[in-house]
A and B are shown apart, each in its own frame.
Chain A
Amino acid sequence: MSDLFKGYKGPALELLKKFNIRVWSDTAVKTTRGDFKGIVLPRSENDDDTHIVLKLITGYNVGIAVESVLDIQEFGYKEAHYKIPEKQFPFSKEKKNVKLLGTGGTIASRLDYRTGAVIPAFSPGELYGAVPELADICNLATEKLFAVFSENMGPEQYKGLAKAIGEEIRKGTDGIVIGHGTDTMHHTAGILSFMVQNSPVPIVMVGSQRSSDRPSSDAALNLMHATKTAADSDIAEIMVCMFGPTSDEYGLLHRGTRVRKMHSSYRSTFRTIGDIPLAMVDRKKITPLRQDYKRRRNDRNVDILPFFEEKVGMLYYYPNMQPDMIDAMVDHGYRGIVIAGTGLGHVNKPLYPAIVRAAEKGVTIYMTVQTLWGYVHMFVYDTGRDLMAKGIIPAENMLPEVAYVKLAWALGQTTDLDKVKQLMLTPIAGEITEREPYNGYLIFQGGIPEVEEFIRKFHK
């Protein structure tokens, strides 16, 4: 019943009912502004309830105000069947087997009329229909684990994903690709780096910044790069594979614990912070940028450690932060807090009593830096020394989000805070590095002549 009037409500719904008009009806509408002819389309649920939407014969959509309508006549019906052409994904003995695990996100997608949103299309057949080049790269199998947008990923999904990865590895896949929304891809990459250790095969996270319902989408190329990496690279780590430049040229393979989304909409939004990426990848080859990565192995051994304490939180410090922020977390049963402090890892004095109180109540607090680049150095200023004396532990150069997921993971397996500390400060997957190379911090400043000269020479 409701399907007859997809997305319509209030006066618009009343109008359709009054004239006995369904969605997908081909209609002639008489209004006080003249006559309109077209197919009634579903209405996006978030749009107002005082207009109906028509698709004109020219392909354009227009809205008609309900109050202007004098009469509607139906003279036909044309329901859309929106489907990515599904083709059997070809199998080839010479090619490696790659498993694509879906979590939601927009790696391949189609439109949903009611919400106007993009919904994922996923089966190997659909993917082959949309990106036929994949068949030149690998034998692809897919499994949809969840259908959530990336902001809704949480502990349950993290654990499920880790277990599914373990299973695929044991079943013998040559590489794993994880389709993921980009917003929290680096959180998931971080936690998987701790939950899945010593993988014998590449585990590649991929998404897209422009949904695949648009011709200039980065989805297809990202997917090709990711499957290429999963099939052929010898880097057996958790990686994020997304555009290097905004141009359609190559992707970068970022280590899962050092990567971060750095722009709300750019294609080249993912950057390795405080280090350099693992490799570059294009459709033909993978070019390592460093050698200290874990290599692919033939065995099927992997450690799956699906732990996550939900009562861990993160505070982004700002001047004038009140101690009740920390008190509230302690009172609500939080067991661990990660602070993104200013500069070398600082917060203001008024927080001190709250920090002491937290420590007394067994809440462990780690310090990271909101500058993102650089180490926490708490010996330089008195403030830092004071804070350490009050129990705050510096988290070296762990990114705030990574420290957060790692603390949740560590507290998920033990209540012994010394053990937690040992887990936190022992690098597992590059989340803490001994040294920061000089080219690990490069944010070019536009406008400077030599930068402009460089930008002009290379595709952005």
Chain B
Amino acid sequence: MKKPFAPQQNYEKSRKRVGYTPRNETKAATYARLGFKCGLEVHQQLQTEKKLFCHCPAGRYHNLEEYDAEIVRHMRPTLSELGEYDGTALMEFKTRKIVIYRIKNETTCTYEIDDTPPFLVNRQALEIAMEVALLLKCNIVGEFHITRKQYLDGSIPTGFQRTGILGIEGEIPLCHKKIRIIQLSVEEDACREISDVGHMRIYSTDRLGMPLIETVTYPEMLTPAEAAEAAQYIRFLARSTGKVRTGIGAAREDVNVSITGGTRVEIKGVAHIAWIPELVHNEAFRQKALLEIREELHRRVGDGKDWKIDSKEVEADVLGCDFPPIRDARKKKLHLLAVNLPGFGGLLSFFTQPGKMFADEIGDRLKVIACLERPNMVHCEQPEKTLGEDACHWLRKTLKAGEDDAQLLFWAAADDIKTALETIEERCRLAFQGVPNETRKGLADGRTIFERVLPGPDRMYPDTDSAPIPVEDDLIERVRSGLPPEIHYRLGQFKAWGVPEDTFAFLLKYNLAPWLEKISSAFGVEARFVSVVLGHVLKNLMGRQQGGAGFNFQRLYDLFGFVREQKLDHEIIKVMLPVVFQHPNMDFESVLTTVNFKRLGREEILAPLPILKEKFKKTGTSKDPAAATRWIVGNLRKLALGNMPMREVTAQLAKGKKS
């Protein structure tokens, strides 16, 4: 008699077989052995007044509950100019989704809803994009062609995104290497998804049509850390123009990952650069796991050319199990289908990602392609109690399953069964080939779920509604003459000025280098001091709370100016800034009152010196003269702040001691 199957042990065993290690225990050599390669597609919204192809305002977002009207569309695949249907397109068509757009009149006109052809492209957006393309050292095209890129998920009501290439073949310098850039494109942003349940997906159109640039790198990042570094660099570079949007959703990354023997998998819409390393790490091992599964299948079944599933509709009663989702399915009068996967025994519980197994690859596709909400299936290799041993035994018998087979059970409405069965069979067949071409959604916990089949170049075709736009030399030269300094030049400057290294990222993130330069030269303050005010004090404030309405860097500049004009010591800025940050419209004199500042002369500040010295002696906590200085200066700090530099107080104290 065969030992009962132990899913948890099987899962652990497979994880060992894959060689998975947590990221903090994984060395560069491991990635090299895997053949890890990573490329980026960085999306960045541009700071324009209006959208890219119509005259709606850009950058205005609504509460997703608020809308003026709803519009319904379905999407059908069309042919590309090379005469092929795109794979993603066909998949999306299979899902039979109803797409609903919620529009607000304020941000949506007839263009977004595809009831009007595009207007002339936004020149402001084109020029900002040109600036970034030149900073990326791209070859600029002679003519900007607007191309349609099909998206059948409904995220764009036309069914395609209007997009065009402005430059190709650029590069960015990282710490230890150069990364080449494939291209920079200008495109319209897509809708924001509100919900996606069953056969209905709802979108908001406020973001739709906003100008966006996409920077695509070659897959030349060889560790997760390099991927994050490149993403940061591209973000800082875009921000250095001062003409891109910041804030939630203004910059989003797609990350392409592959390993030797694997396939390019695209992780979409990563909202935070900090997520990238964990996501790509896990994806590398997921691919490795899928390759191990392939090897196992080849050993057991061969190439799988004639591989097929068997399925049978069953009644919940005969299963004799009381798993809640099955109970719900029964209540909803869904059909229960038992499926046998020949040769897949032990593979459903095979490790793919931390806490995920191969069965999840099937479940995720059932959700996306067949529109079956999760949980949509159970199987006989689940570590948690679901079907129970009796039900599994019954399933094996009913399906006439062999020793090496795996069984799963799913539930669906009659209309969805065909697509669901096809989806299961297709995913299992793909396991014989290894890693399927797909785009995956990155989650905050570092794992990914299936999003759609990876589209190819077949989904591109020319936009017949717009003419090509010549890109003249004088435009390029005009933009080039106004380019900001490059990021690695800025880093050199920071080092030369003695700017603390822990402020670099903050300064570049908010494009503060120009302010740093301006403040420092206008008021004769050391750049280092300004960088500390920005990179420590301001960063700290911004990390804890939202600034008052109207706070901006100009206000900070004015603060430095005020302190200079009043001949105050600039240390006072560190105390004033929190108040200015909260109440940007308060006049600076009032800020001084708020922080209890009093104008005192040198004599008045130093007057308590003798008493303090005496007091310290009396308390006698320490005999160390340095401790005495610290204590006395600390007591004078409040009086001195803004009136005289602390180092002068210290110097005075030292002088006093000598005399």
Contacts and interface: CB of A to CB of B under 8 A. Distances in A.
B145 A60 contact: yes
Interface of A: 31, 33-36, 41, 44, 46-48, 50-51, 53, 55-65, 68, 78, 80-85, 110-111, 113, 116-118, 209-217, 220-221, 245-249, 263, 265-267, 446, 452, 455-456, 459-460
B168 interface: yes
Contact of A460 (B69, B78, B459, B461): B69
A267 B78 contact: no
Interface in B454-484: 456-462, 464, 467-468, 470
Contact of B144 (A55, A59, A63): A63
A216 B159 contact: yes
Interface stretch (B53-61, B79-87, B611-619): B79-87
A69 B456 CA distance: 29
Contact of A65 (B149, B150, B183, B470): B470
B302 interface: no
A209 B113 CA distance: 13
A57 to B, nearest CB: 7
A124 B458 CA distance: 25
Contacts of A50: 470
Most B-side CB within 10 Å, residue of A110, A209, A248:
A248
B143 A64 contact: yes
A35 B73 contact: no
Interface stretch (B134-142, B248-256, B500-508): B134-142
Given A57-B457, A64-B143, A266-B110, A80 B71 contact: no
B468 A51 contact: yes
Interface in B231-253: none
Contact of A220 (B72, B76, B150, B165): B76
Nearest to B476: A33
A26 B140 CA distance: 20
A146 B183 CA distance: 44
Interface stretch (B114-122, B199-207, B515-523): B114-122
A265 B115 contact: yes
Contacts of B81: 41, 55, 80, 82, 111, 113
B77 interface: yes
A47 B217 CA distance: 31
Contacts of A455: 68-69
B75 interface: yes
A214 B148 contact: yes
Given A110-B79, A211-B464, A31 B142 contact: yes
A459 B70 CA distance: 5
Contact size class for B?
35 or more
Contacts of A117: 464
A36 B110 contact: no
B68 A213 contact: no
B158 A84 contact: no
Nearest to B103: A460
B464 A111 contact: yes
Interface in B132-189: 138-145, 147-150, 152, 157-160, 163-165, 168-169, 182-183, 185
A198 B626 CA distance: 113
Contact of B69 (A111, A216, A220, A456): A456
B114 A56 contact: no
21 contacts: A33-B139, A51-B143, A56-B165, A59-B149, A61-B145, A61-B147, A62-B142, A62-B144, A62-B168, A78-B82, A80-B83, A111-B464, A117-B464, A215-B76, A216-B73, A216-B157, A247-B71, A247-B72, A247-B73, A456-B70, A459-B70
A111 B77 CA distance: 15
A61 B142 CA distance: 11
A215 B110 contact: no
Top 7 A-B pairs, shortest CB-CB distance = A63-B143, A215-B159, A34-B139, A59-B457, A59-B460, A65-B142, A247-B72
Contacts of A81: 83
Given A58-B183, A216-B159, A246 B75 contact: no
Nearest to B80: A59
B147 A216 contact: no
A215 B114 CA distance: 11
Contacts of A78: 82
Most A-side CB within 10 Å, residue of B105, B182, B464:
B464
B573 interface: no
Contact of A34 (B169, B185, B460, B462): B169
Most B-side CB within 10 Å, residue of A47, A59, A267, A455:
A59
A332 B114 CA distance: 44
A210 B464 CA distance: 11
Contact of A111 (B144, B462, B470): B462
B141 A62 contact: yes
